[in-house]
Structure 1
Amino acid sequence: MDEAVFFDTLREGLWVAVVVSTPILAVALVAGLTVGLFQALTSIQEMTLTFVPKLIAIVIVFWMTMGFMTQTLVSFFDTRIVPMISGV
């Protein structure tokens, strides 16, 4: 395998990982900031208050974007990884 092909596949794989993880990370960031702002405004320092809403938001977004994530990963494997393994 040529080095250029290896590094191009690695770069594309990292980009796919970024694209797939962006919705979940964005929602976790927004939920964390919202809960943190709520805690700062109300002076409530409950540990489960930061964990539970963020977990619920992440699970909901994961469930909503599961089709997109699966389609993106399958497309990457079908176009890049499988042809490299089979030698086509």
Structure 2
Amino acid sequence: MLSEGYIYDVLREGLRVAVVISAPVLLVALVTGVSIGLFQALTSIQEMTLTFVPKLAAMLAVFWASMNVMTQSLIDFFQTVIIPSISGG
């Protein structure tokens, strides 16, 4: 039987991995959204697609570029934390 402290440690590590994996995409979305919003405020252009399309393109580019790191983080988490706790080791 797993102890309560071990379960909390696994959950904390899982949340840390989730933050590390999602941080690059979310940060790029934030920076792109703020910069385009600033551009729209300065030029008085209020077009919805001007916000959506560049933000989507930037997020897809960062996701594609960081897919290897994201996958490796998940593999490491499962191999070091989840699989040993399932097998009892």
TM-score category of the 2 structures, normalised to the smaller one: over 0.9
C-alpha distance in structure 2 between counterparts of 1:40 and 1:86, whole Å: 56
C-alpha distance in structure 2 between counterparts of 1:46 and 1:14, whole Å: 37
Per the TM alignment, residue 68 of structure 1 is displaced from its structure 2 partner at its CA by 0.2
C-alpha distance in structure 1 between counterparts of 2:46 and 2:86, whole Å: 52
Deviations 1:1-30, CA, capped at 9 Å, x for gaps = 100000000001001111111111110010
Gaps of 5+ in 1: none
Deviations 1:23-57, CA, capped at 9 Å, x for gaps = 11110010001110110011111111111000000
CA RMSD after TM alignment:
0.6
> Which residue number in structure 2 is paired with residue 3 of structure 1?
4
Q: Which amino acid aligns with 1:14?
A: L
> Which residue number in structure 2 is paired with residue 87 of structure 1?
88
Helix, strand or coil for the counterpart of 2:46? coil
* Aligned residues between the structures: 88
| Deviant stretches of 4+, over 4 Å | none
**Does residue 39 of the first structure (1) align with residue 40 of the second (2)?**
yes
C-alpha distance in structure 1 between counterparts of 2:4 and 2:40, whole Å: 51
Per the TM alignment, residue 86 of structure 1 is displaced from its structure 2 partner at its CA by 1.3
C-alpha distance in structure 1 between counterparts of 2:55 and 2:86, whole Å: 39
C-alpha distance in structure 2 between counterparts of 1:36 and 1:62, whole Å: 22
**Percent identity among equivalent residues?**
64
TM-score by length of 1: 0.97
C-alpha distance in structure 2 between counterparts of 1:39 and 1:73, whole Å: 38
> Which residue number in structure 2 is paired with residue 19 of structure 1?
20
Helix, strand or coil for the counterpart of 1:38? helix
Gaps of 5+ in 2: none
